[in-house]
Amino acid sequence: MSLDSVELVLEVEKEFDIFVSDEDASKIFTVGNFRDLIVRSLQEKGMNPNEGEVMQKLRAIVVEQIGVSPDEVTPEADFVRDLGLD
């Protein structure tokens, strides 16, 4: 995992107050994968997250951390191929 990837995961952990294991992080290929992981983590904490709100917050973090356009950050967007993350 690159430094940019690590920083992205750390920012998501901070924003959502969750922990992303190295194993889980290695399975994140798309923005949708990451959204689903966040939703699942919040549900495990007894919360009932709104997927749309999670996606909106995740999109803002990705835009800030990677410097891409919000329009590029779709659930199908691949972090490496589409968003240029190392």
Task: Report whether pLDDT(43) > 90.
Answer: yes
Q: What is the pLDDT of residue 1?
A: 61
Task: Report whether pLDDT(85) > 80.
Answer: yes
Average pLDDT over residues 24-48: 97
Residue ranges of the domains in the chain?
Answer: 3-72
- 31-44 vs 3-16: helix axis angle to the nearest 10? 40
Tokens of 83: 């968003």
Q: How far apart are CA 60 and CA 48, in angstroms?
A: 21
Q: Considering the entire predicted model, what is its pTM?
A: 0.95
Confidence of residue 86 (pLDDT cuts 50, 70, 90): confident
Q: Provide CB contacts within 8 A for 78, sequence distance 6+.
A: 29, 30
Q: How far apart are CA 32 and CA 70, in angstroms?
A: 14
Task: Report whether pLDDT(83) > 70.
Answer: yes
